[in-house]
Amino acid sequence: AQSVTQLDSQVPVFEEAPVELRCNYSSSVSVYLFWYVQYPNQGLQLLLKYLSGSTLVKGINGFEAEFNKSQTSFHLRKPSVHISDTAEYFCAVSDLTGGGNKLTFGTGTQLKVEL
């Protein structure tokens, strides 16, 4: 079984400042890692994913994440945030059980971008 920890429940940041949202996972097998974003009153949308290969993964809206196997982390970063990035961000993992589709989510980080 795997688990995901998002230590920061809320992250306030000023517009145009950089941001990092932290994600750590625990698993006894190799995993696939994802970041999803949820805008208010909407479903979730995939930001980026790591399956294999380069540990630096680029996603939509200027976000990127780095997979660190030794630290079991997959932190999400953006060099300059915009008001429109205000949303809740979920880190998730899956492994090869169930065909690799079953996701385990973290508890989410609310990113609030202020002027």
Partner 1 sequence: NAGVTQTPKFQVLKTGQSMTLQCAQDMNHEYMSWYRQDPGMGLRLIHYSVGAGITDQGEVPNGYNVSRSTTEDFPLRLLSAAPSQTSVYFCASSYVGIAGYEQYFGPGTRLTVT
Instruction: With beta carbons less than 8 A apart as the criterion, state whether 76 and 95 touch.
Output: no
Nearest distance from C-beta of residue 16 to partner 1, angstroms: 29
Q: Tokens representing 38? A: 């949820």
Nearest distance from C-beta of residue 82 to partner 1, angstroms: 23
Cβ proximity to partner 1, 54 vs 98, nearer residue = 98
Alpha carbons 12 and 42: distance in angstroms, whole number: 21
Q: Which residues bind partner 1 (CB under 8 A)?
A: 4, 6, 9, 32, 34, 36, 41-46, 49, 51, 90, 94, 96, 98-108
Nearest distance from C-beta of residue 85 to partner 1, angstroms: 19
Amino acid at 78: K
Cβ proximity to partner 1, 36 vs 63, nearer residue = 36
Cβ proximity to partner 1, 46 vs 56, nearer residue = 46
- 51 backbone dihedrals φ, ψ, rounded to 5°: -110, -45
Instruction: With beta carbons less than 8 A apart as the criterion, state whether 47 and 25 touch.
Output: no
